[in-house]
Amino acid sequence: MTAARLARPLRAVITAALVLVLALCPVWGGDGARSTLIVFAYYAALAQMWNLLAGYAGLVTFGQQLFIGLGGYTLAVGCERIGLGVWSAFALAAVVTGALAVPVGALTFRLKGGYFAVGSWVIAEIFRLSFGNWSYVSNASGMFIRPARSVDPWLLYYVAIGLLLGMVALVVATLRSRAGLGLMAIRDAEDAAAGLGVHVWRVKLLAFVIAAAGTGLIAALITVQTPFIQPNAAFSIEWSAQVSFMAVVGGLGTVEGPIIGAAIYVVLQHRLGGSGAIHLIVVGAVSVIVMLVAPRGIAGLVRDRWGWTLFPVARRPPVKADRAP
């Protein structure tokens, strides 16, 4: 990463301008823009969490739908069965998914590489099938979340945008921390990282728990918006297909990538509407092509060509004047 970066003030101005445009949506946009941007915000936030695992921690997973389902069901059960308010149940979703990530991670980390990816999927399947057999959550027929219907859509919009900004800040903060440096070291060379004193297991689990809690929180928000949940949809592998597409096309291992990828995905979804099969064929084929032709995605191409990054997290070695040629 020796390419020149955008100057710090310029980065701040671009970020502030984007945030301002989003914040002023009620002024320039209507209900259509609002619902599109809500969907964009939660896809971008979900992809951000997947990217933290696959792009930075070397934990490629096809099992994040476990935390999507659990986060959604925490909200549904909290509101409909326990009688919590919508926003307390929303906060509870992060706690439940984050706590469950500890035993799930402890178990699945025993599998390496591709087997970890599929092992996480199997755990999600266990939950999908069990929730389908569980009468407390109305089996496979699903639950309506009645209190969520009275949530003001613009409030939902600001929570969604806030959540996206929060997830971006969380990822940037994690990556700039000591643990983040450890994560990237693990991704690049696990054994070497361990040899240099990185607590590999602990750092991976930290990333896994952060991603699970973030994913659970976003899923709860999705469920507030729907407001309906069903095990076959909530624990569906399609979530993994979507978020991996966004992270790969946008640019793995970059903070901008998942946001760019989510924007492309939302446009694609609008264009292809109608048939689910054609949409998924395009998503699958584009993932394959991008992975083979431009494995660093759009953000990677931009970075390689012009050296631009909006959220730099790579460290630059200090330049010593006396070593300069």
Q: Which residues bind other proteins (CB under 8 A)?
A: 54, 58, 60, 62, 107-108, 110-111, 113-115, 117-119, 121-123, 125-126, 129-130, 132-133, 237, 241, 244, 248, 252, 275-278, 280-281, 283-285, 287-288, 291-292, 295
For the CB of residue 291, give the shortest distance to other proteins in the complex, in Å: 5
| Structural contact between residues 132 and 139, judged by C-beta atoms closer than 8 angstroms | yes
Cβ distance to other proteins smaller for residue 132 or 147: 132
For the CB of residue 112, give the shortest distance to other proteins in the complex, in Å: 8
Cβ distance to other proteins smaller for residue 117 or 143: 117
For the CB of residue 300, give the shortest distance to other proteins in the complex, in Å: 13
| Structural contact between residues 235 and 127, judged by C-beta atoms closer than 8 angstroms | yes
Contacts of 81-84 with C-beta under 8 Å, sequence gap 24+, read 81/136
The structure tokens listed for 66 are 């476990």
For the CB of residue 203, give the shortest distance to other proteins in the complex, in Å: 18
Cβ distance to other proteins smaller for residue 27 or 277: 277
Cβ distance to other proteins smaller for residue 20 or 292: 292
For the CB of residue 13, give the shortest distance to other proteins in the complex, in Å: 34
Secondary element (H or E) of residue 228: strand 228-229
| Nearest alpha-carbon partner for 219 in 44, 54, 82, 75 | 75
The widest CA-to-CA distance across the chain, in whole angstroms, is 73
Cβ distance to other proteins smaller for residue 91 or 237: 237
The structure tokens listed for 198 are 């990185």
Contacts of residue 325, Cβ cutoff 8 Å, sequence gap at least 6? none
Cβ distance to other proteins smaller for residue 36 or 139: 139
End-to-end CA distance of the chain: 19
For the CB of residue 216, give the shortest distance to other proteins in the complex, in Å: 21
Which whole-number Å values give the CA distances from 90 to 22, 209, 306, 309, 312, in the listed order? 22, 17, 41, 33, 31
